[in-house]
Chain A
Amino acid sequence: MAQSASDTANLGKGSSPALDISELSLRFPRQETPILSLPHLAVAPGTILGVAGPSGSGKSSLLYLLTGLLRPGKGSIHWGETDITALSEGACDAWRRKHVGFIFQDFHLIGELSPLENVLLPAGFHGWRVPVDLRKRAADLLNLVGVPTNRGSVTDLSRGEQQRVAIARALLFDPPILLADEPTASLDRDAAENCADILFANARDNHRTLIIVSHDHTVIDRCPRVLHFDKGQLLTENEAA
């Protein structure tokens, strides 16, 4: 099945949905204390939201809940009109494919593929052949993040370059929601700043929602709105004036 024309024609044209969380609670089986509890959270479209807190505070669990990879014990998560907690697994996969870009601390690139092939990997989720315009977009994204497209394998790249490839991969379908889990944790200072610049610029310039989990204060300090978690509870919420 070839990539549908509408999939690529709508690239960059989707608007970010608002996030509305209500009475969210996540607990592991046989544990009385929830690992994450969030009575209410509303995030406007195009918000850059930082999530901070010590290890085990529930930051990553929040990201997984927001993408439907994890199902809460109770509560609801609305992205726009869609309550993703009510979607079936298949429907949630389809929603995530269409709306979410994900960036990991360890990049999780496929070492045997080139940077361009890695960026185009999500295209294989949709169709058999990669449309020419999508291939061009992948090359443009690599140029945007400053990674040469002619490298044979991503293993030839520096860690900073690899994370930038991962960012390009997350941006392939220009998702309205971008989630980043410790995107700079394994990078040196310069590379970290460079990657953060790309993420923030994309969110600001394209009015995309960016939720970024990080221990890195230089990253968190750049977020207009920051949630501080500890032991699964939202402790404080800072919002730039």
Chain B
Amino acid sequence: MNPFPIVFASLRRHWVMNLLFVLLIAVAVAIGVGITAQERALRQGSAHAADKFDILVAAPGSQTDIVMNTIFLRPSAVNLLEGPVWSKLLSDDRVDFAAPLAFGDSWHNHSIVGSTAQFVDYLSGGLKDGTMFADHEEAVIGVAVPLEIGDSFEPAHGHGIEAEEHHHHGVNIKVVGRMKATGTPWDSAIVVPVEQVWEVHSLGTGHADDEDHEHNEDHDDDHAHDEHDHEHDHHHDNGASAAAAQDHDHDEDHGAAHHDEHGGEHDHAPGEAHDHDDEDHPDHAVKLGPPFDGVDLPGVPAMVVHPKTVAGAYSLRSSYRTDHSMAFFPAEVLVEMYEMLGNASSVMRWMALGTQALVVAAILAAVLALMQIYRKQFAVLRALGAPKSYIFGAIWLYVATLVVFGAAIGLGLGWAVAQAVSQAFTAETGMAMRATIAAPELTLAAGFILIGFALALVPAFMLYRKPVVDALRGS
């Protein structure tokens, strides 16, 4: 028995309607496939973004806010972790390394984050181009930052419209290196020495020698301002009053809930001293990164901690859950977010299933109507000797073909839409997301096909039972 000639003929006869059926099925399947593929891409992308953030230590408050600030670089006001608390982390035996993260400034909506060279190395696995920052007013940038090595820029306080109104006038940061791609929002970040962030906000330097030096320089400035031709000193000198004003403004803007660090001097990372610094600063070296031995260490929004061992990680988390700090695994926060996301996507998935059910019902109704048109054709086939099973098979195959084509196209369409949304999301956040078709989507499409196959029995059975002569007389 070969009913395919009749099936193909039926598909060709009402091809517009059949195409509509296929598209309807495709859209219904695509909605479900798109939702599940997109949700998984979001989970994987966010999990990848959090990979390098083993433990976060911050002032007590919202863990979600800290995660959003540190991992996803979505700025919001957070309490500051006190200097004595975070500095203790740097010398903790359980810590492989810890780095402060200081936020608040931006350039053209690219977050400027103050941290250490060690963190940059850890985050991006080294630099793609250029060198690590070795001076306060040097920066390394993510791969998605539209600056070139050698470019300079003026940071602004805050983000967005607010940032445009609060430039740190006179501060020029030079790009000296570019990080390797991380596939995280940090690809859009500009990383500067944490000392620069502190310094530009007139909050000390974090280094005892620098603070002494700074004090001396301030003192000297009163007498011999013009004698110093030093970039750092320059804006610091400017800042003798301006920095205080900036700080004042900043406090007005954010109250007590934002980091404001003030850095003193450049520090050469071990072995990274700049020649010109030596030339410009014959009397001291630029200090960057740990140890931070300043007398009055500024607060920081968060510390990222890489523990030596898994046991150490849990021990650290426990130790730093105090009245003055909170320590947590970002993965735990993400899991909570996924649960919320999961609930939302579960609702969406049910809605998608409802849509699919409606589409199937609508198509079934249309097919039943179409079968009335085909009724006489099948009656003629019966008169020509076609067994009932041939009629049944032809109708079932016809509907099943529509379902299979629709589901296959829907699978591709859903993937394409999820991919497009992922790309738009990546462009927006910098978080690498890649929607893929995996078992859940294939299961969904297969489930739809199986349901379609089952429902295709309805018109097949109905026409199978129709009296042949009634249809033959109906011409």
Contacts and interface: CB of A to CB of B under 8 A. Distances in A.
Interface of A: 1, 60, 64, 67, 69-70, 89-90, 93-94, 96-98, 100, 102, 104-106, 108, 110-113, 117, 121-129, 169-170
B13 A124 contact: no
Complex A-B, nearest 8 residue pairs according to Cβ-Cβ distance, in ascending order:
A97-B385, A112-B9, A124-B2, A108-B380, A112-B12, A93-B387, A125-B386, A110-B9
Contacts of A104: 380, 383, 472
A98 B385 CA distance: 8
Contacts of B8: 112
B384 A122 contact: yes
B14 to A, nearest CB: 10
B388 A89 contact: yes
Contact of A112 (B1, B3, B13): B13
A96 B385 CA distance: 6
Contacts of B5: 110, 113, 117, 121, 124
Contacts of A94: 387
A68 to B, nearest CB: 10
Given A112-B8, A127-B2, A64 B385 contact: no
A133 to B, nearest CB: 17
B365 interface: no
A102 B390 CA distance: 18
A169 B377 contact: no
B384 A102 contact: yes
A111 B468 CA distance: 21
Given A111-B13, A124-B3, 16 more contacts: A69-B382, A69-B472, A93-B386, A94-B387, A96-B385, A100-B385, A102-B384, A110-B5, A112-B9, A121-B6, A123-B2, A125-B381, A125-B387, A125-B390, A127-B1, A170-B384
B388 A110 contact: no
Interface string B297-339: 0000000000000000000000000000000000000000000
B471 to A, nearest CB: 10
A69 B469 contact: yes
B387 to A, nearest CB: 5
A117 B5 CA distance: 8
Contacts of B388: 89-90, 93
Contact of B1 (A67, A98, A111, A128): A128
Interface string B1-45: 111111011001100000000000000000000000000000000
Given A108-B376, A129-B2, A169 B384 contact: yes
A110 B377 contact: yes
A184 B407 CA distance: 47
A24 to B, nearest CB: 16
A90 B382 CA distance: 11
B475 interface: yes
Nearest to A122: B384
A60 B383 contact: no
Contacts of A122: 384-386
Contacts of B473: 60
Interface in B440-473: 468-469, 472-473
Contacts of A105: 475
Nearest to A97: B385
A127 B386 CA distance: 11
A122 B4 CA distance: 12
A93 B472 contact: no
Interface in B369-410: 376-377, 380-388, 390
Nearest to A169: B384
Contacts of B12: 112
A120 B179 CA distance: 70
Contacts of A125: 1, 381, 384-387, 390
Nearest to A107: B380
A79 to B, nearest CB: 14
Contacts of A117: 5
25 contacts: A60-B473, A67-B383, A69-B469, A89-B388, A93-B387, A96-B385, A97-B386, A97-B387, A102-B384, A104-B472, A108-B377, A110-B377, A112-B8, A112-B13, A117-B5, A121-B5, A121-B381, A124-B1, A124-B5, A125-B381, A125-B385, A125-B386, A127-B1, A127-B2, A128-B1
